[in-house]
Amino acid sequence: MAEIIIRILKLVVVIYVARILGATEYGKFTFALSFAMLFVALSDLGLSPITVREFSGSQDKENEFLSLISLKVLLGLATATLISSLSFFITADPATRIAILILSVYVAISGFSEILYAFFRARQQMQYESIAKIFQAIAISVLGFVVIFKVPSIQNLSYSYSLASLCALLLIMFFFFLLNRRIFPLKISFKLAIWKKYLKMSWPLALAGVFTAIYYNLNSTIMGYLGQITQTGWYNAAHKIIIATFIPADLLSIIFFPVLSVAFKESKEKFQKIWNYFNFSMIFLAIPIMAGGIALAPKIINIVFGENYVSAILAFQILIVTTVIYLMSAPLVKTLLVIHRQKNILWAYFAGAVTNVLLNFILIPKYSLYGASFSTVTTFFVIFVSLLIMAIKFSPLRLFDFEMLMNSVCVVMAGVIMYFVISNDIIYNLNLIAVIAIGALVYIISLTIFYLCKYRIFKNIGRSGNFSTFI
């Protein structure tokens, strides 16, 4: 619920920022933010997910946490310094350069906060992370609205991001030391042996994070560097809505990851059962999101951002495919992480990063935001295929069976029916909320009917004694 609230609040701010600043100024801000976020992985180096895995059900390791906090402080300072230094080479525009300098602080603070969130995730006490992140989203919203209505500029907007992240950090630190002051006294701990131990486990995820930052932010950075500032604004308008559709995957991943880690240590049967729930949840959510996104793209862009962003419609329709791929990839990533296959995740993301870099440099100069959109979809697909191959080879799980295939067919058929219903002019011309509600209702009813038919088919096969292995 916290993640949903956070994403919605941030999306609302983005919508007003894009509308009030206009595509060009919004493009400058997203260019500055994308460049800063290219280095976000350096502020964490994969330590946060490793902390969740290592500390889940193992409180005896928590005495090492102060050393990890100290390491994260140094990483944050180094990252902010690097971003600030390179900003002088990426743009000649003074306003954009100042925004990058301010956002480097935002990246450093956000990276440090992740280690505290990881600690609470490992303990399955995520209510504290929820409170801090909701507070940060509210702070960004309030400060963002004050800025864009009173003193609109990309520098002031950057200040609002950094200040909000600092407030959230102070709040999560308050929770951490309030609940653990007897265990973790407030002090710096430089224990190189512990740093080496965790970095040895996390370096594949660190590189994976670098590759992820590349395929999320490189396209906007290249467009901005080439002077395609307005196109950068159009692209990010579409991309921000797409990121909002990632909420189900991110939400379920946060919930399932600690449980998967514990189940893997307990029994293969429990591990398989939880993974099946995780995987089918993603399939169930992915198809209607894509069907609705493609059908309603013109309506969504026009209502949300206005007629000045009509060029973002096609980019949105291309990018919505990444939602399906992203949701389908999430269970594979968490499974490989749980079974200590970080290096395999690294190679999958490396393949995606190489694909992204090559396609961006080939397609963006000629096709601008549409080339960037196609590059993003292709990148996500390459990563998914790579992860699937790795999971099939190394995971003890049974990734696919006949029942999963039949369930997926039912979901796809229900999604197709939903698409044609909401594409009909009578339905399409209704209020957007009404169209979404009708589409969701049609999807659920259709899926229920298909499931009942599937059940009867299975029941009849069982009576006849055929395909007993599938049953």
Interval 205-258: pLDDT, tens: 788 788 888 877 888 889 988 888 899 999 988 988 898 888 877 878 878 887
Give the pLDDT score at 421.
Answer: 94
Is the predicted pLDDT of residue 470 greater than 50, yes or no? no
**Percentage, residues of the chain above pLDDT 70:** 92
- The domain ranges of the chain are 2-399
Report field, pTM of the whole predicted structure over 0.85: no
User: Can you say how many angstroms the Cα of residue 149 is from the centroid of all Cα atoms in its chain?
Assistant: 29
Mean pLDDT over 264-280 rounds to 82
* pLDDT at residue 56 tops 80: no
Residue 427 has pLDDT above 50, yes or no: yes
Does residue 96 have a pLDDT over 80? yes
Confidence of residue 469 (pLDDT cuts 50, 70, 90): very low
Please report which confidence band the pLDDT of residue 461 belongs to, taking 50, 70 and 90 as the band edges.
low
Residues 164-182, buried b or exposed e (16+ Cβ, 10 A)?
Answer: bbbbbbebbbebbeeeeee
Q: Select from 91, 89, 374 the least CA-distant residue to 229.
A: 91
- pLDDT at residue 189 is higher than 80: no
Mean pLDDT, residues 280-284:
88
Average pLDDT over residues 426-453: 91
Residue 184: its pLDDT value, please?
A: 59
Q: For residue 373, what pLDDT band results from cuts at 50, 70 and 90? A: very high
pLDDT score at 339: 83
pLDDT of residue 71: 85
| pLDDT of 111 strictly over 90 | no
The confidence band for 467, taking pLDDT boundaries of 50, 70 and 90, is very low
Q: What is the pLDDT of residue 269?
A: 81
Average pLDDT of the chain, as a whole number? 84
Q: How many CB atoms lie within 10 A of CB 424?
A: 10
pLDDT of 408 reads 85
